[in-house]
Amino acid sequence: MNASTPGPAGAARARPRPENRPPSGGWRIVAAKELADHLGSIRFVVLFVVLGLAGASAVYSVSQQITSVAAGVSTGQSLFPLLFTLSASDIAAATQQTANTPLPSFVTLISLLAPLLGIAFGFDAVNRERADRTLPRLLAQPIYRDDVINGKFAAGLAAIGIALGAVLVVIAAWGVIQLGVVPTAEDVARLVVWYVVAIVYIGFWLALATLCSVVMRRAASSALVAISAWLVFSLFGSLLISTVVGLLAPLSASPTNSEVIANGHLQDALTRISPDGIFQIATQAILDPHVTAGILTIDQRVAVVQQGAPGSILSLDQSLLVVGPQVLAIVALTVVCFALAYIAFMRQEVRA
């Protein structure tokens, strides 16, 4: 549009200009550069190794246990997802053995560590450009201002996707070898759906860290705030929730039904606030076709009881239906958080 109507000065100079393409897609250029930076960075390597080691050890200990109790598993259900959702101590408890490792399950470990991925690729996205004084130079190039933050967010998501995807594929393959069981198509589909949801969830942390990097001038304070949020939600979240629930809806020594329901409702309501809680629920429901009582909300449990006997196996689409609200909540959280970062960045003065 405007490229074809150069100003009077441009006309007077009449130089051939190679820049005839429309100015769209600036975010892709930014994203390509940022992704290259991420993939070559030390933080990527470190996170990749940490994630891989944690996942590998969890899956290894579980696979040892699973093979010892495989005979006890009923036919008609796949062992493969259990590799990711069960922890060694779960199986040990179920079979009255003593657990040899206190490791949590693969998905629990990943959902604990995943926010770190998001924070690592987002906490210095904008304030580093400020600190290095590259932001004015970058914004003086013919790209839209939102190309910068969009490109950075896209690059962060891509880096996370690559790290998580690689870890997942390698460990799944290794688990298959350990277990000697080939996953069914549905198993793979469940894993892929979980992978996508996990990326959106990590996207929430990426967006939060990006928001911190826009608002805070120094990368160190931005990282501290983002990590504090992670600690609160991931580590102390369940602790806080059970404390509050115990205070507001206490269970007596021999609890009545109404007490149990009130307690459960409050617990659900509070868990829904925590992104970590939502993701845990979504994870369990997506990966585990067994609808076990411990992982669903009261409402969903009631629905399951009404529709079929507990312990039945859900197909993937039914699992998704059950967990739809949680997935939507994760998407909404991510979108809102990114929107805040976007608006903050667009309204900011170029000079600090």
Partner 1 sequence: MVLQPSPRVEGGRDVAIEPVIEARNLTKRYGARVAVDDLSFEVRPGEVFGLLGPNGAGKTTTVLMLLGLTEPTSGEARVVGVDPMRDPLEVKRHVGYMPDTVGFYDGLSARENLAYTARLNRVPRSIATARITDLLTQVGLVDVAEQKVDTFSRGMRQRLGVADALLKDPSVLILDEPTASLDPEGVVDLLALIERIAQERRIAVLLSSHLLDQVQAICHRVGIFYKGRLIAEGSVRDLATEASRTEDVVEVGAQAHDGRPAGVEVITATLRGAPGVASVAPDPDAPDRVLVTGAPGIAGELSSALAAAGLRPIHLRTREERLDAIYARLVHAAAEAPVRPPRPKRSTTRSGPGARGTTPGRPGPRRARPGRAGRPRPDNHDDDPGDTAAGEPG
Binding positions for partner 1, rule: CB under 8 A: 2-3, 6-10, 12-15, 17-19, 21, 23, 26, 29-30, 32-33, 37, 40, 132-134, 136-144, 349-351
CB nearer to partner 1: give 147 or 268. Answer: 147
CB nearer to partner 1: give 134 or 242. Answer: 134
CB nearer to partner 1: give 239 or 351. Answer: 351
CB nearer to partner 1: give 72 or 142. Answer: 142
Distance in Å, CB of 36 to partner 1, minimum: 9
Nearest partner of 178 among 267, 271, 57, judged by Cα? 57
Distance in Å, CB of 133 to partner 1, minimum: 3
CB nearer to partner 1: give 21 or 252. Answer: 21
Distance in Å, CB of 148 to partner 1, minimum: 10
Distance in Å, CB of 47 to partner 1, minimum: 18
Residues 6+ positions from 344 with CB-CB distance below 8 Å: 211, 214, 215
Distance in Å, CB of 137 to partner 1, minimum: 6
CB nearer to partner 1: give 15 or 254. Answer: 15
Distance in Å, CB of 26 to partner 1, minimum: 7
CB nearer to partner 1: give 182 or 351. Answer: 351
Distance in Å, CB of 116 to partner 1, minimum: 22
